[in-house]
Amino acid sequence: MSEEASETDQLPSLDVNIEAVSSDETSREFEEAEVHKLGNTSLNASNKRLEFAPEVRDSIKESESGTIYLEYKAQANGFFNLFATSSQTHANEYTALFVNNGVVGLESRSVWAANSLDIRNFSHHDRAFTEEEIQRRSALFIRREHPYVLNEESRLSKKITVFEGGRNNQKNPANGVASFRIPALLKTDKGTLIAATDQRHDHHLDYGNIAQVVKRSLDNGQTWSETITIVDLKDNPQARDRNFGAPSQCQ
C-alpha cells in the first residue's frame, strides 16, 4: 500500500466540503427533463419486481422519445432484467432491458429480477440524451474523469510512495514485507510529518504477526526517514492460519 504525502509547501486539508462533492451534482443539468424518479429501493427474493403506478406507465407508454437512466448495484453477476414493458392485449409483445454477466442487452425474456438488486436512482426523462450528455450524467461511474473539488487554500499533491508492500501475493524483495495496511498521516505542531501503518510480515491478513511502523519527514513530505518500528508483536508461528490463536494463546 502506498501513502501519499505533500510535495508542496502546503499540506492538503483533511476537511471535506461535502456540499461541493455531492453525488447528485451531475444530475442537476438534467432535472428539467426529468419526468419521474425513483430512488433508494431494493429488489430481492421477497420483492422480485417493482411495478410503476398507472400514471407513470401511461407517461412512458405515450412518450415518443425519452431516456431511461438507472443506477444500480447487483449482488452478483448473472441474468436479470433492469426494465421491462409489455402489452395487455397482444401476447408475447414485450421488451426487456437486461444484464447478462455484466453485459447489457435488449431482448424478450420472462425473467424479472436478480437475487438482489439495489437501485440508487431510476429516472425517466422526456427527451433522448446525446452520447455526450450520457457521459456527463454518468460521470460518477468512470465514464470520464471527474474533477477533484478542493477546499479553498487546499492543494492536491503528487503521489509519493512512502511504504510499499509486495505484489501478486509475494513479499517486496526490497524490505521483505508482504503488505502495509491501515495508513495514517499527521503533522505535529512543529511541522514534522509522521506516516504510520500496519506492517504485515507474511500476507495482508497476518493473524498475529504484525508490526506498527512509522516514517518521519522534516521537509513536508519531500523526503522520508527509514522505517521506524514502534512495536512488533510476537511472532505467531502459524500466522497464515486463521484458526490458530494469537501469540498469547499459543502453547
Other C-beta atoms closer than 10 Å to the C-beta of 5 total 24
Among 28-42, 168-182, 197-211, which is the least confidently predicted range?
28-42
Report CA 54 to chain centroid distance, whole Å: 36
pLDDT of 173 higher than 50? yes
- d(C-alpha 60, C-alpha 68), whole Å: 10
- d(C-alpha 161, C-alpha 152), whole Å: 26
User: Domains along the chain?
Assistant: 1-15+156-251 (no CATH), 19-141 (2.60.120.200)
pLDDT of 161 higher than 60? yes
The count of C-alpha atoms lying within 13 angstroms of the C-alpha of 197, restricted to the half-sphere facing its C-beta, is 23
Mean pLDDT score, 133-157 = 72
pLDDT of residue 210: 86
* Closest listed residue to residue 1, CA positions, set 158, 189, 147, 200: 200
Look at 91 and 132; give whichever has higher pLDDT: 132
- pTM of the predicted protein model: 0.42
pLDDT of 180 higher than 80? yes
Three-class SS of residue 59?
A: helix
- d(C-alpha 80, C-alpha 30), whole Å: 27
Look at 241 and 185; give whichever has higher pLDDT: 185
pLDDT of 214 higher than 90? yes
